[in-house]
Chain A
Amino acid sequence: MGTVKKFLYLNRTAPYGSIYAQEGLEVALIGAAFDQEVSMAFVDDGVFQIKAGQDSSGTGMKNFSPTYRALGDYEVTRLYVEKESLEQRGLTVEDLMPLTYEDEEDDYKEKPSIRIVDSTELADILARQDVIFNY
Protein backbone atom coordinates (compact mmCIF):
# COMPACT_ATOMS: atom_id res chain seq x y z
CA MET A 1 0.00 0.00 0.00
CA GLY A 2 1.33 3.43 -0.91
CA THR A 3 1.26 6.54 1.21
CA VAL A 4 -1.99 7.28 2.95
CA LYS A 5 -3.23 10.72 2.02
CA LYS A 6 -5.61 13.01 3.83
CA PHE A 7 -8.70 13.42 1.67
CA LEU A 8 -11.41 15.88 2.56
CA TYR A 9 -14.76 15.98 0.79
CA LEU A 10 -16.14 19.49 1.01
CA ASN A 11 -19.92 19.46 0.59
CA ARG A 12 -21.59 22.78 -0.16
CA THR A 13 -24.80 21.77 -1.95
CA ALA A 14 -28.26 20.81 -0.69
CA PRO A 15 -29.53 17.28 -1.35
CA TYR A 16 -32.12 16.46 -4.10
CA GLY A 17 -31.93 19.81 -5.96
CA SER A 18 -28.87 18.53 -7.82
CA ILE A 19 -26.92 15.26 -7.99
CA TYR A 20 -23.81 16.70 -6.29
CA ALA A 21 -24.65 15.63 -2.73
CA GLN A 22 -25.35 12.02 -3.65
CA GLU A 23 -22.27 11.78 -5.90
CA GLY A 24 -20.07 13.33 -3.21
CA LEU A 25 -21.21 10.76 -0.66
CA GLU A 26 -20.57 7.87 -3.05
CA VAL A 27 -17.10 9.09 -3.97
CA ALA A 28 -16.24 9.61 -0.29
CA LEU A 29 -17.20 5.98 0.41
CA ILE A 30 -15.08 4.80 -2.54
CA GLY A 31 -12.09 6.81 -1.26
CA ALA A 32 -12.51 5.30 2.19
CA ALA A 33 -12.61 1.77 0.72
CA PHE A 34 -9.12 2.45 -0.69
CA ASP A 35 -7.81 2.96 2.85
CA GLN A 36 -7.20 6.68 2.55
CA GLU A 37 -7.74 8.99 5.49
CA VAL A 38 -11.10 10.43 4.57
CA SER A 39 -13.05 13.16 6.31
CA MET A 40 -16.01 15.24 5.18
CA ALA A 41 -16.99 18.83 5.76
CA PHE A 42 -20.46 20.33 5.44
CA VAL A 43 -20.59 24.03 4.64
CA ASP A 44 -23.27 26.40 3.25
CA ASP A 45 -26.31 24.43 1.95
CA GLY A 46 -24.24 21.26 2.42
CA VAL A 47 -25.40 21.18 6.04
CA PHE A 48 -28.90 20.31 4.76
CA GLN A 49 -27.52 16.96 3.48
CA ILE A 50 -27.40 15.55 6.99
CA LYS A 51 -30.72 17.00 8.21
CA ALA A 52 -32.66 14.37 10.17
CA GLY A 53 -36.04 13.05 9.05
CA GLN A 54 -35.65 13.12 5.25
CA ASP A 55 -38.51 11.37 3.44
CA SER A 56 -38.39 11.71 -0.34
CA SER A 57 -41.12 9.11 -1.02
CA GLY A 58 -43.51 11.81 -2.26
CA THR A 59 -41.08 13.05 -4.92
CA GLY A 60 -40.07 9.84 -6.72
CA MET A 61 -36.42 10.46 -5.77
CA LYS A 62 -34.29 8.10 -3.73
CA ASN A 63 -33.76 9.05 -0.09
CA PHE A 64 -30.00 8.55 0.13
CA SER A 65 -29.64 10.05 3.61
CA PRO A 66 -29.47 6.63 5.38
CA THR A 67 -26.21 6.00 3.47
CA TYR A 68 -24.45 8.63 5.62
CA ARG A 69 -24.83 6.17 8.49
CA ALA A 70 -22.48 3.76 6.64
CA LEU A 71 -19.59 6.25 6.78
CA GLY A 72 -18.62 5.17 10.30
CA ASP A 73 -18.16 1.54 9.14
CA TYR A 74 -15.77 2.79 6.42
CA GLU A 75 -13.75 4.60 9.07
CA VAL A 76 -14.96 8.00 7.96
CA THR A 77 -15.32 9.21 11.52
CA ARG A 78 -14.79 12.95 11.16
CA LEU A 79 -17.73 14.86 9.74
CA TYR A 80 -17.04 18.55 10.24
CA VAL A 81 -20.06 20.87 10.19
CA GLU A 82 -19.47 24.59 10.03
CA LYS A 83 -21.22 26.36 12.91
CA GLU A 84 -21.82 29.57 10.92
CA SER A 85 -23.61 27.67 8.12
CA LEU A 86 -25.94 26.00 10.63
CA GLU A 87 -26.76 29.30 12.33
CA GLN A 88 -27.56 31.11 9.07
CA ARG A 89 -30.12 28.36 8.38
CA GLY A 90 -31.74 28.32 11.81
CA LEU A 91 -30.39 24.82 12.51
CA THR A 92 -28.67 23.29 15.53
CA VAL A 93 -26.82 20.00 15.96
CA GLU A 94 -30.10 18.49 17.25
CA ASP A 95 -31.60 18.93 13.78
CA LEU A 96 -28.93 16.68 12.25
CA MET A 97 -28.88 12.89 11.94
CA PRO A 98 -27.15 11.29 14.94
CA LEU A 99 -24.22 9.87 12.93
CA THR A 100 -21.79 7.74 14.93
CA TYR A 101 -18.83 5.35 14.66
CA GLU A 102 -17.41 2.61 16.83
CA ASP A 103 -14.01 3.56 18.24
CA GLU A 104 -11.86 0.42 17.97
CA GLU A 105 -9.19 2.02 20.15
CA ASP A 106 -11.71 2.55 22.94
CA ASP A 107 -13.49 -0.82 23.31
CA TYR A 108 -15.70 -0.14 20.25
CA LYS A 109 -17.59 2.56 22.07
CA GLU A 110 -20.12 4.36 19.89
CA LYS A 111 -19.07 7.97 19.44
CA PRO A 112 -20.53 10.89 17.48
CA SER A 113 -18.95 11.50 14.06
CA ILE A 114 -20.36 15.00 13.71
CA ARG A 115 -18.03 17.72 14.95
CA ILE A 116 -19.31 21.27 14.95
CA VAL A 117 -16.44 23.61 14.10
CA ASP A 118 -16.32 27.36 13.53
CA SER A 119 -14.88 28.82 10.36
CA THR A 120 -11.46 29.46 11.93
CA GLU A 121 -11.16 25.81 12.97
CA LEU A 122 -12.40 24.65 9.57
CA ALA A 123 -9.82 26.84 7.83
CA ASP A 124 -7.09 25.01 9.76
CA ILE A 125 -8.60 21.62 8.90
CA LEU A 126 -8.68 22.51 5.18
CA ALA A 127 -5.07 23.68 5.27
CA ARG A 128 -3.96 20.33 6.73
CA GLN A 129 -5.36 18.22 3.84
CA ASP A 130 -3.45 16.64 0.95
CA VAL A 131 -6.47 16.67 -1.36
CA ILE A 132 -9.83 18.46 -1.22
CA PHE A 133 -12.76 17.31 -3.35
CA ASN A 134 -15.66 19.66 -3.92
CA TYR A 135 -19.32 18.71 -4.24
Chain B
Amino acid sequence: MLHTVNKSPFEKNSLRTCLRLAKRGSDILLIQDAVYAALSATEWTEMMMDAVNEHRIYVLEPDLAARGLSRDRLIQGVKTVGYDGFVELACRNDPVQSWL
Protein backbone atom coordinates (compact mmCIF):
# COMPACT_ATOMS: atom_id res chain seq x y z
CA MET B 1 0.00 0.00 0.00
CA LEU B 2 1.14 3.55 -0.77
CA HIS B 3 0.56 6.45 1.59
CA THR B 4 1.18 10.01 0.44
CA VAL B 5 1.38 12.92 2.88
CA ASN B 6 1.32 16.56 1.78
CA LYS B 7 1.17 18.60 5.00
CA SER B 8 3.99 19.91 7.19
CA PRO B 9 4.28 17.89 10.42
CA PHE B 10 4.83 21.18 12.25
CA GLU B 11 1.38 22.35 11.24
CA LYS B 12 -0.88 19.30 10.98
CA ASN B 13 -1.06 15.78 12.38
CA SER B 14 -1.44 14.10 8.95
CA LEU B 15 1.97 12.45 9.07
CA ARG B 16 1.53 11.24 12.66
CA THR B 17 -1.81 9.67 11.78
CA CYS B 18 -0.35 8.15 8.62
CA LEU B 19 2.46 6.51 10.61
CA ARG B 20 0.00 5.27 13.23
CA LEU B 21 -2.19 3.60 10.62
CA ALA B 22 0.36 2.40 8.08
CA LYS B 23 1.15 -1.31 8.19
CA ARG B 24 4.80 -2.32 8.51
CA GLY B 25 6.59 -2.29 5.17
CA SER B 26 4.38 0.33 3.52
CA ASP B 27 5.56 2.77 0.88
CA ILE B 28 5.24 6.31 2.26
CA LEU B 29 5.83 9.26 -0.05
CA LEU B 30 6.28 12.76 1.34
CA ILE B 31 5.22 15.51 -1.08
CA GLN B 32 4.62 19.29 -0.93
CA ASP B 33 4.98 20.64 2.64
CA ALA B 34 5.41 17.12 4.05
CA VAL B 35 8.98 17.08 2.71
CA TYR B 36 9.96 19.12 5.79
CA ALA B 37 9.39 15.94 7.83
CA ALA B 38 12.44 14.36 6.19
CA LEU B 39 14.83 17.01 7.53
CA SER B 40 17.39 15.91 10.08
CA ALA B 41 17.80 17.68 13.43
CA THR B 42 14.17 18.73 13.83
CA GLU B 43 11.67 17.81 16.51
CA TRP B 44 10.26 15.13 14.14
CA THR B 45 13.57 13.48 13.32
CA GLU B 46 13.30 10.79 15.99
CA MET B 47 9.82 9.71 14.88
CA MET B 48 10.99 9.65 11.27
CA MET B 49 14.08 7.57 12.08
CA ASP B 50 11.76 4.93 13.54
CA ALA B 51 9.57 5.21 10.45
CA VAL B 52 12.56 4.63 8.15
CA ASN B 53 13.19 1.33 9.94
CA GLU B 54 9.58 0.18 9.52
CA HIS B 55 8.70 1.48 6.06
CA ARG B 56 10.15 2.64 2.77
CA ILE B 57 10.10 6.43 3.02
CA TYR B 58 10.35 8.50 -0.16
CA VAL B 59 10.55 12.26 -0.69
CA LEU B 60 9.61 14.07 -3.90
CA GLU B 61 12.80 15.75 -5.11
CA PRO B 62 11.26 18.75 -6.99
CA ASP B 63 9.35 19.69 -3.82
CA LEU B 64 12.60 19.57 -1.82
CA ALA B 65 14.39 21.80 -4.35
CA ALA B 66 11.51 24.31 -4.39
CA ARG B 67 11.94 24.74 -0.65
CA GLY B 68 15.70 25.15 -0.80
CA LEU B 69 16.40 21.78 0.83
CA SER B 70 19.24 19.57 -0.33
CA ARG B 71 19.60 15.81 0.08
CA ASP B 72 22.42 16.15 2.59
CA ARG B 73 19.91 17.66 5.05
CA LEU B 74 17.72 14.55 5.00
CA ILE B 75 17.43 11.75 7.53
CA GLN B 76 19.51 8.71 6.53
CA GLY B 77 17.54 6.03 4.74
CA VAL B 78 15.01 8.40 3.15
CA LYS B 79 14.97 7.95 -0.63
CA THR B 80 14.35 10.75 -3.11
CA VAL B 81 12.18 10.22 -6.20
CA GLY B 82 11.10 12.39 -9.13
CA TYR B 83 7.64 12.56 -10.70
CA ASP B 84 8.45 9.37 -12.62
CA GLY B 85 9.12 7.61 -9.32
CA PHE B 86 5.84 8.96 -7.93
CA VAL B 87 3.96 7.45 -10.89
CA GLU B 88 5.78 4.15 -10.48
CA LEU B 89 4.90 3.98 -6.77
CA ALA B 90 1.25 4.76 -7.54
CA CYS B 91 1.12 2.04 -10.22
CA ARG B 92 2.86 -0.54 -8.07
CA ASN B 93 0.56 -0.07 -5.06
CA ASP B 94 -3.11 -0.67 -4.50
CA PRO B 95 -4.71 1.08 -2.72
CA VAL B 96 -3.20 4.56 -2.51
CA GLN B 97 -4.14 6.68 0.50
CA SER B 98 -3.59 10.46 0.48
CA TRP B 99 -3.21 11.97 3.95
CA LEU B 100 -4.20 15.59 3.54
- Interface residue ranges, A against B (CB under 8 Å): 13-17, 44-45, 48, 51-59, 61, 63, 65, 88-90
- Interface residue ranges, B against A (CB under 8 Å): 6-8, 10-11, 32-33, 36, 39-43, 45, 61-63, 65-70, 73, 82
A97 closest partner in B (C-beta):
B68
Given A14-B8, A59-B63, A90-B42, residue A45 in contact with residue B33 (CB < 8 A): yes
Q: How far is the CB of B71 from chain A (nearest CB, A)?
A: 12
A58: B residues at CB distance < 8 A: 61-62, 65-66, 82
Which of A14, A53, A56 is within 8 Å of B36, CB to CB? A14
A56 touching B10, Cβ below 8 Å: no
Bound Cα distance from A16 to B60, whole angstroms: 14
Which of A53, A63, A89 is within 8 Å of B39, CB to CB? A89
A55 touching B40, Cβ below 8 Å: no
B67 touching A88, Cβ below 8 Å: no
Q: Known A-B contacts: A13-B11, A17-B33, A58-B66. Give 20 more (CB < 8 A).
A: A14-B36, A17-B7, A17-B8, A44-B11, A45-B33, A45-B36, A48-B36, A51-B68, A52-B68, A53-B70, A54-B65, A54-B66, A55-B66, A58-B61, A58-B82, A59-B63, A59-B65, A59-B66, A90-B42, A90-B45
